[in-house]
Amino acid sequence: MADCKHESCGTREKVWLPYEFEGRSRGLKPHSYCIHCGIVRNTSADRAKPMGYYMNILARMPMITKVQIRLIVKELESRDFDDAYSMTRSEQEKIFSSVVKKYSKVSKDRIRASL
C-alpha cells in the first residue's frame, strides 16, 4: 500500500503462518501484520533494498537516458516497489528487470548482471 504508514500489530495479535529456512518448510512461526492495511511483514532473509539502491544501478548504466530513468522510477513507485514491509528483494529484482526492459533496449542479462 503506497499511502499506508505501516504499523505492526502487538505480539499477542501475531498470526501463525508457515515459514521456510534454507528452502525447506519448517512449520509455523508468528508473523506481524500491519494493523491498517493487513499486509504481513516480510521476516525472511530476502530483505528489500531501498529505492536509492536501484537508482544508483540505473545511474551506472550509460545507455539509459535521464528521461528513461524518470519513466522507470515513476513506474516503480506506482508498483509499491519501495515498500520494504512486504516486498522481498527477489520480487524487487523481477519487477526492476521487467520495467527497465520495458523502457530501454538493455538486455535482461545485462540488467541481472548489474544487480
Which neighbouring-strand residues pair with 29?
17
33 and 76 inside one domain: no
Confirm whether 101 is domain-assigned.
yes
Give residue 57's identity as a one-letter amino acid code.
I
32 and 66 inside one domain: no
65 and 30 inside one domain: no
Distance CA 30, CA 95 (A): 28
Taking a C-beta distance cutoff of 8 angstroms, is the pair 58, 100 a contact? yes
12 and 66 inside one domain: no
Which portions of the chain are predicted below pLDDT 70?
1-2
Distance CA 15, CA 29 (A): 8
Which neighbouring-strand residues pair with 8?
34
Confirm whether 85 is domain-assigned.
yes
- Find the helix or strand (DSSP H, E) in which 21 lies: strand 15-21
Place of cell 535521464: 66
Q: What is the pTM of this model?
A: 0.81
70 and 107 inside one domain: yes
- Provide the domain limits for residue 64: 51-114
Total number of domains in the chain: 2
> Over the stretch 11-34, which tens digit does the pLDDT of each residue have?
889 999 888 877 788 889 899 999
